[in-house]
């Protein structure tokens, strides 16, 4: 069975003209507006990455104490960055992650991917543990 399409009607008559057609003739009469650039758009220098100020960051895999499962540990991050970094890494790497004490614990063997991600974020000194 075909679905019937209904026409939009106003006052019992079908709309046959474009209601915005009259506005085209008024286009030249409208004010141009302010052409200045917003202060947010013209920044002098990009913000420095909070990761650039970090010292040594150690990324290692571990099995002991995790029920035989392999996890990747990231240590050396500042306390202010732990929660946000954990959430970002979880989303970017597509794996589970949590914060334990001063560590970010990633589920699975993610050492290579975690190092690549940290390098892209601006970490300068990354040490791969065993």
- Six token digits for residue 88: 């970002």
**Predicted confidence band of residue 112 (pLDDT cuts 50, 70, 90):** very high
What pLDDT score does 95 carry? 94
**φ and ψ at residue 104, rounded to 5 degrees:** -105, 125
59 has a pLDDT exceeding 80: yes
Q: Considering the domain boundaries, does residue 43 fall inside one? A: no
What pLDDT score does 51 carry? 72
Q: Considering the domain boundaries, does residue 113 fall inside one? A: yes
Q: Considering the domain boundaries, does residue 17 fall inside one? A: no
Whole-model pTM: value is 0.61
Q: Considering the domain boundaries, does residue 121 fall inside one? A: yes
The domain that holds 66 is classified in CATH as 3.30.780.10
Q: Considering the domain boundaries, does residue 47 fall inside one? A: no
Q: Considering the domain boundaries, does residue 46 fall inside one? A: no
Q: Considering the domain boundaries, does residue 25 fall inside one? A: no
Handedness of CA 60, 66, 71, 76 (dihedral sign): negative
Q: Considering the domain boundaries, does residue 13 fall inside one? A: no
| pLDDT tens digits, one per residue of 31-51 | 777 666 565 655 556 677 777
Number of domains present in the structure of the chain:
1
Three-state SS at 103: strand
Terminal C-alpha separation, the chain: 67
CA distances, 101 to each of 5, 8, 19, 49, 86 (Å): 62, 63, 63, 23, 12
Domain with 97, as residue range(s), is 56-128
């Amino acid at each position: 069975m075909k679905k019937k399409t209904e026409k939009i009607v106003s006052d019992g008559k079908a709309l046959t003209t474009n209601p915005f057609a009259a506005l085209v003739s008024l286009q030249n009469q409208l004010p141009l507006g302010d052409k200045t650039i917003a202060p947010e758009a013209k920044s002098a220098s990009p913000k420095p990455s909070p990761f650039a100020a970090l010292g040594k960051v150690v990324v290692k895999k571990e099995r002991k104490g995790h029920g035989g499962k392999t996890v990747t540990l990231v240590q050396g991050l500042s306390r202010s960055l732990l929660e946000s970094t954990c959430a970002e890494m979880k989303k970017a790497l597509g794996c589970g992650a949590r914060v334990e004490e001063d560590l970010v614990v990633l589920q699975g063997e993610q050492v290579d991917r975690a190092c690549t991600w940290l390098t892209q974020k601006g970490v300068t000194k990354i040490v791969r543990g065993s």
